[in-house]
Amino acid sequence: MADVASYAHLLSHEEKQWMNQFMKEYNEATTQDAVFHTTAETRKICNDKNNARNRCWYTEEAAANRLNLVESDFELERLLYDETTVSDPSEPEDEPI
């Protein structure tokens, strides 16, 4: 399945306007000047999906750039061994005096 960016340059101006209107109604639950989602049932579907996205914790955190995702095993190890009290198991423990 291809995303819009991979073929948007191939669309005519009218096709881009059509897609923009459809996506605005579907993703933003825009009901003013609705062309595609005109029945109460289709508007409810769009509103329910929009409300679900608004309740999603991951979406909120990603939009606010508050996600701290670990990119690699190396970064995870650095976080564990540099910023916590966890010791590296490969290092010998100090013996009591």
Residue 5 confidence (pLDDT): 77
Give the integer Cα–Cα distance in Å for 40 and 47: 10
Q: Answer yes or no: are the C-beta atoms of 4 and 19 closer than 8 Å.
A: yes
| Position 2, amino acid | A
Closest CA to 22 of 10, 2, 43, 37: 37
Residue 88 confidence (pLDDT): 56
| Position 64, amino acid | A
Please, what are the averages of pLDDT over each run of 10 residues along the chain (97 residues)?
A: 78 91 82 82 87 86 79 74 60 60
Number of Cβ atoms within 10 Å of the Cβ of 71: 7
